[in-house]
Amino acid sequence: MAFSDNLQFLRARQGQTQEQLAEILEVSRQSVSKWESAQSYPEMDTILRICDLYQVDLDTLLRGSVEDSMVEDTAQYDKFMNRFARRMAFSIGGIIAGVGLCGLLEAKGVDEYRSAAVLLLVIAVCVVVMVVSGLQNDNFRKAHPVIPDFYTQQERQDFRQKFIWFIAGGVGAILFDVALLLLFFSRFPEEEPFESYAISVFLLIVAGAVTALVYAGIQEEKYKINKYNRDNSPTPEAQKRLNLIGTICGVIMTLTAALYVGLGLALGLWRTAWWVFAVAGILCAVVYIVLNPYKDDD
């Protein structure tokens, strides 16, 4: 492919018009038209901006075939991210489901120590899966710091339709769950074993909703190849911010786990103290929003 063909391919792949590309590059539409018809070539600084815009190297853009270079996912990025999304989503949802399971066991007459042991086992398995998945994600990023954007515009649009249903379904499930809980207690007294059954079912439904929301969020991030490449090659200042975010969130989650275990052992609040994890998640999100080194760009 020549430069003109590569430029047409990249622009069409992003669903951009010549006018939109011209506006991004701060040139006229006629200039873009001439480039794509091989009547002229842009200046070198503009070519480098095109490379940055579409995440393609200079040699491929000028002399190679961009289309051929993006046909295959040679790093198996899509497969890896799908597996990562499933593991993280089910692990986070699994912790909440474990609390619900603990309540069901107590309602069935299982003593508090055995139900607590089951809960801790579930939490341990989920935490191990999350830690291993996080380390594997770091290793993958180090091995493949730059990924060519092989997703088509149609693939992105198809996912956006699914994403809407994931988010709407997750939020809808939680709202339905709250309504169901209120209706249950309007009919049955707030005493055992009714209370344990109601809270347990509530938490199991919440676990399913959270799993869907987390999975959808990670899947959405998967398609942001530009962000992936940017995060793997941060500036020194951005790296300091990212390290700080990781440290603060790590401390928050460690203290949260210790607080939950302490409340469970000291006060027996294994079933009701699960909310500390939700608060910790919100705090981590706030930390990321405040310290995000790319918030102005995003």
pLDDT, tens digit, for every residue of 125-166?
A: 998 999 999 999 989 998 888 887 788 777 888 899 999 999
The per-residue pLDDT for 70 is 63
Instruction: Spell out the alpha helix ranges (H) of 144-235.
Output: 153-187, 194-222, 225-232
Contacts of 215 (CB under 8 A, 6+ apart): 85, 86, 88, 89, 166
Q: What is the pLDDT of residue 71?
A: 58
Cis? peptide before 193, omega within 30° of 0? yes
Question: Tell me, what's the pLDDT at 61?
Answer: 82
Is residue 119 within 8 A of residue 99, CB to CB? The reply is: yes
Q: Average the pLDDT over 19-34 and give the result.
A: 90
Whole-number pLDDT of residue 196: 78
Question: Each residue of 180-194: pLDDT tens digit?
Answer: 888 888 887 776 777
CB 211 within 8 A of CB 90: yes
Q: What's the Cα-to-Cα distance from 22 to each of 31, 67, 110, 279, rounded to whole Å?
A: 8, 21, 69, 45
Q: Which two tokens stand for residue 53?
A: 């815009």
Average pLDDT, the chain: 85
Task: State the pLDDT confidence band at 175, using cuts at 50, 70 and 90.
Answer: very high
User: HSE (CB half, 13 Å, CA atoms) of 125?
Assistant: 14
**Looking at residues 198-225, what average pLDDT do you find?**
90
Q: Is the pTM above the cut of 0.75?
A: no
- Looking at domain 3-69, its CATH architecture is Orthogonal Bundle (1.10)
Query: pLDDT grade, residue 173 (50/70/90)?
Result: very high
8 Å CB contact between 45 and 54: no
CA 103 vs CA 89, 109, 176, 207: distances in Å: 22, 10, 20, 14
* Contact present, 214 and 97 (Cβ < 8 Å): no
Q: Residue range 253-272: average pLDDT?
A: 81
Segment 221-245, tens digit of pLDDT = 899 888 888 888 777 887 888 888 8
**Three-class SS of residue 73?**
coil
